[in-house]
Amino acid sequence: MITRQLVDTDKFNPAPSLPYNLRVLDFQGAMQDVYDFFYDVNVHFQDRSLPRLDDMLRPAICSGVISDMLTESLAKHSRSLTVNTYHNGHPDLLVRGVYPNDKVKSGSEGVEIKSTRNKGGAVDTHGARKQWMCVFVYTVDNTTEPATDRHPLTFTEVYLGEVVPDDFRRNERGELGTRTSTLDRDGIAKLRESWVYLDKD
């Protein structure tokens, strides 16, 4: 039976330091929007004897979809941020009105959004730069049987901190791969200090 996941408001940092007028309420709303979307889609799929969306999406695609949804939803709830309308522009969210038409290839005023299944928030990026980085960590239950008893997609960690190029390590690029950067040990520790939501259960 498909169940609707609800954001656990007790797991939020009671006094986070958030940039650009962001509020805990903005994160609550964005996370609940994702939960509601997966619930609605999965109920629809179940009615047609189809697998859950969580089970159909490959991990990398799932993370991309969730990141895009969170970007759009945070922009909707935020008082000061809007979606960067430049295709693959950085950061994902811009401070409204700073850049012409809220569009920039590479800007500094805003927040980059990432999502990952990696506990602790380690995630690849396309470049080491000074930025506000927000990482949502989530879990997907692909193992419980029967599949109709599986737990819904759940956010377990959210971090939002300012990082700089020295906080990153470069990842070696394979013959067919694209060079990426990941926060190093000290960088990820720095990000984790700026936690917004943490489910230790």
Q: Which residue has the tokens 């901190």?
A: 161
Q: Per the domain annotation, does 54 fall within a domain? A: yes
Residue 5's CB is within 10 A of a number of other CB atoms, namely 17
- 10-residue mean pLDDT series, the chain (201 residues): 92 96 98 98 94 93 96 98 95 97 96 95 82 96 89 97 87 62 88 94 70
pLDDT computed for residue 178 by the predictor: 61
Q: Per the domain annotation, does 41 fall within a domain? A: yes
d(CA 62, CA 56): 9
| Residue 68, H or E segment | helix 59-77
Q: In terms of pTM, does the model score above 0.85?
A: yes
> What CATH number does residue 191 fall under?
3.40.600
Q: Per the domain annotation, does 9 fall within a domain? A: no
d(CA 120, CA 154): 15
Asked if residue 160 lies in contact with residue 194, where contact means CB atoms within 8 angstroms, the answer is yes
Q: Edge-to-edge strands of the sheet including 131-139?
A: 81-83, 93-95, 110-116, 131-139, 154-163, 195-198
Amino acid in the structure at residue 5? Q
Q: Per the domain annotation, does 86 fall within a domain? A: yes
pLDDT computed for residue 144 by the predictor: 92
Q: Is 126 helix (H, G, I), strand (E, B) or coil?
A: coil
d(CA 60, CA 100): 32
Q: How many domains in the chain?
A: 1
d(CA 193, CA 201): 19
HSE on the CB side for 40, CA within 13 Å?
6
Q: Per the domain annotation, does 11 fall within a domain? A: no
> Which residue range(s) make up the domain with 54?
19-198
Q: Tell me the C-alpha to C-alpha distance, in Å, between residue 165 and each of 6, 148, 158, 162.
A: 36, 45, 21, 11
